[in-house]
Amino acid sequence: MKNLLTIALFGLLAITFCACGGEKAAETAAQTVPQAKAVTADKMNQKNIQKGKANPMGGQVGTAVMPWVKLDKVESLVKSEKKKVLVDVYTPWCGPCKMMDRMTFTDQAVVDAVSKSFYPVKYNAEGPDSFNFMGKEYGNPNFDPNKTRGRNARHELANFFSVRGYPTMVVMDENMKIIDKIVGYKKPAELLKSLEKHM
C-alpha cells in the first residue's frame, strides 16, 4: 500500500511538472505581450505557507519570510546599493511555483543567503499590471480578467526574460544584465547550490 501511494505521488508530481513546462509554439509566436508590476507575494506567502506541514518532497515548510521587492522598484535599489537581482518568474496556476513558495522561499538559509546577495523579485508572468522596467513600458493588453483559473495571456517581459516554463529564476548582475537562469522546482539546498557562484 505504501509503495502504491509513493508511485501515485510521483505520478502526480510528474503531471504537475509537465503542466508547468513549455508553452505552445503558436501561443508564443502569436503573443508579444507587455507585463506589469511584480506581485510582492506577501499575501501569497500568507496564503500558501502552512507552517510545520511535511513536504511530500522531503523537509518541512519553513517560517522565514522572503523580503520580496517590486520589479518596478528594483532598478532604483540597484543604483543606490549595488547588488544582484533574483527574479522568481511564476504563474498562479503553476504547482511547482507554489511548492517553492511554501518549501524553498520559506527556508531560513535560503532567505538569509538571497537577502544578503540579491534583491529578490516576485514576477507573475501572466498578471494584469503595467510598469516601466529598464526604460521600457511593459503591460499585458491581452490579459483576460474573466480567466480566474488556468493560463492567461503571456507578458512581454516574460519574452524578454526568454522564459519557457515555470518556475524560472532569472539572475541579473549589478548592471541589470541577465547572467543565469535556474529552471524548475528546486529544494532549498538545490537552489543554494545553483546560486552559489553568484554570491
Closest CA to 162 of 125, 133, 189, 131: 125
Q: Spell 136-153 as b/e; 16+ CB within 10 A means b.
A: eebbbebbeeeeeeebbb
Q: How far apart are CA 82 and CA 195, in angstroms?
A: 17
Specify the 3-state DSSP secondary structure of 194.
Answer: helix
Q: What is the average per-residue pLDDT within 134-163? A: 90
User: In the chain, what are the domains?
Assistant: 2-198 (3.40.30.10)
In this prediction, what percent of the chain has a pLDDT beyond 70? 70
Q: What is the pLDDT of residues 74-111, one digit of tens each?
A: 999 999 999 999 999 999 999 999 999 999 999 999 99
**φ, ψ of residue 166 in degrees (nearest 5):** -125, 145
Q: What is the pLDDT of residues 167-196, one digit of tens each?
A: 999 999 999 999 999 999 999 999 999 999
